[in-house]
Amino acid sequence: MQSLKDYISSFADEQTYERLKQCGEIEDALTECQRIRKLAKKAKGKIDQEPSIRLTDTRAGMKIARYYDWGISNPKAEQAVAAMRGDSSFRSLHPSASEGVDAAQSEKMENRSQYKSTKCSKETHALWGCRAMALGCASELVTLKKCMVQKHESTDPKYFTYDSKKDFSNAEGCQIDMQALGNCVSEKWKDLNQRLNK
């Protein structure tokens, strides 16, 4: 018979696993961003294909975006809220909507430039942030965010060292803090897998 301590530990592990599964939708958005970037690179930036899933389409992604203060919103959600309210004067928070461009066209234009000019950095940082929160690496996440704000005045640096084994002791950015978060996530994920596979 299972002791109360074992039962609670088992329940906590199952909850952690469920939170990690929610990070999967961010991973899907990252994979799609990378796919679109490759297509855009081949087509020299001229691409009409829309991503099938974006960070803004995911609940977990929006949660991390709020944590990092990225100021991104989901135009589809904004429109749905307006429809529910029956407010015909609703103006999207989406910048180009106020300039007379319809939301669908503006979203298409934004996505084209986004995949041309970025390295899917928001998706990458969001995925690692989601994993960190799910696995109990919150202190490393807080430290990383502070570093990003202090050293870059942005929580979206265009580099990633989460799973790197390099020595970054002389680096000027937040590579060491990213690496610490990545190590915490990797170790706790490994421990979780061992406990779940007993």
Name the residue range of residue 133's domain: 8-196
Is 186 inside any structural domain?
Answer: yes
Q: Give dist(CA 175, CA 112) in Å, integer.
A: 29
Is 2 inside any structural domain?
Answer: no
Is 1 inside any structural domain?
Answer: no
Residue type for 92, please? S
Number of domains the chain contains = 1
User: Are 159 and 176 spatial neighbours (Cβ–Cβ below 8 Å)?
Assistant: no
Q: Which tens digits make up the pLDDT trace of 120-178? A: 999 999 999 999 999 999 999 999 999 999 999 999 999 999 998 889 888 889 999 99
Is 189 inside any structural domain?
Answer: yes
User: Are 127 and 30 spatial neighbours (Cβ–Cβ below 8 Å)?
Assistant: yes
Unique residue bearing structure tokens 């596979």:
197
Is 190 inside any structural domain?
Answer: yes
Q: Which tens digits make up the pLDDT trace of 31-47? A: 999 999 888 888 876 77
